[in-house]
Amino acid sequence: MAVWAIGDIQGCHGSLMELLDKIEFTPTHDTLWIAGDLVNRGEDSLETLYYLYSIRDSIKVVLGNHDIALIAAYYGIKKSNPTIDPILASPDAKKLIDWLREQKFLHVDYQLGYCMAHAGISPEFDLGMALRYAKRVETKLQSHDAKTWLKAMFKEGSKKFDRTASSLDIDRYIMGAFTRMRFCYNDHKLDFDQKGAPTDALREKGLKPWFECENRADIDLKIIFGHWSTLGFYHDENVLALDTGCLWGGKLTAARIDVDEVEIVQVECGVGMEPN
């Protein structure tokens, strides 16, 4: 039995199947962690979603910003696009969307010593806070009022955590941190606009990757995340970044995490879009 974590798939079904074949993934014996962004922009989002749904008992999924965008398009909150149109037109659309809505924003495994969130964990949150706030937005996404609540999530929100803010503003911060975060300032204010790789020039302006922020709350587990294709593969004692830009002509990466030393397996991707 093996446990593998993989980065953003974004509808690249062919690359996913090639990678799973390369690591000899067997759903009846192995477990797959998926760091969000299952769909969108890739050519085979429907096929990807169908396959992951078919092995749903063997996978752990956290939601990414593109998965949230798909749910929002299903509700008519956001516009669709040609890569997710087939999902929305599928006779199984409701089943697939309802399954996505059941997924987490944060997955934790104390025995393995890892946790996983699409963009990472806010530097403001220790593990207890992260679990509590993840559960808060999961519950709302799964509620009967999910459409109304989700519509409010696409309005401009705070870039710094404020317990005294309105309930919806707090939810927007939680959602943004778990699904869209990359950089932060030393005061832990998040920057959702900068999408490039970390550079000395950005650091001189006070912008650092969220996992480098000073006085970041302690997380005793190693954090697996995706979302940041321009960062690429990155691994240190605190984090494991797995978005290696499959959609952008890069690679799709799997990391075996149930072993003493992380094993990395990658496949080249045929799709070659320009990052935006």
DSSP structure string for 139-166: HHHTSTTHHHHHHHHTS---SS--TTS-
Question: Is residue 196 in a domain?
Answer: yes
Question: Is residue 274 in a domain?
Answer: no
Task: State residue 43's pLDDT score.
Answer: 86
Question: Is residue 231 in a domain?
Answer: yes
Task: State residue 276's pLDDT score.
Answer: 41
3-state helix, strand, coil in the chain (%, to 5): 35, 15, 50
Question: Is residue 163 in a domain?
Answer: yes
- Phi, psi dihedrals of residue 233, rounded to the nearest 5°: -65, 130
- For helices 45-54 and 93-101, the axis angle rounded to 10 degrees is 70
Residue 155: give the domain boundaries: 3-268
Task: State residue 247's pLDDT score.
Answer: 84
Number of domains in the chain: 1
pLDDT < 70 regions, the chain: 270-276
Task: State residue 271's pLDDT score.
Answer: 57
**Cβ-based neighbour number of residue 98 at 10 Å:** 13
Task: State residue 67's pLDDT score.
Answer: 98
Task: State residue 269's pLDDT score.
Answer: 86
Task: State residue 42's pLDDT score.
Answer: 86
CA-based end-to-end distance of the chain: 38
| Angle at CA of residue 233, ends 14 and 176, nearest 5° | 90
Task: State residue 274's pLDDT score.
Answer: 46
The DSSP result for 49-74, as a single string, is HHHHHHTGGGEEEB--HHHHHHHHHH
Question: Is residue 275 in a domain?
Answer: no
Q: How far apart are CA 74 and CA 85, in angstroms?
A: 10
Question: Is residue 276 in a domain?
Answer: no
Q: Is the dihedral of CA 15, 16, 17, 21 positive or negative?
A: positive
Task: State residue 97's pLDDT score.
Answer: 98
Share of the chain above pLDDT 70, in %: 97
Question: Is residue 273 in a domain?
Answer: no
Beta-strand pair 239-241/234-235:
antiparallel
CATH number of residue 154's parent domain: 3.60.21.10
* Pair 196, 230: CB distance under 8 Å: yes
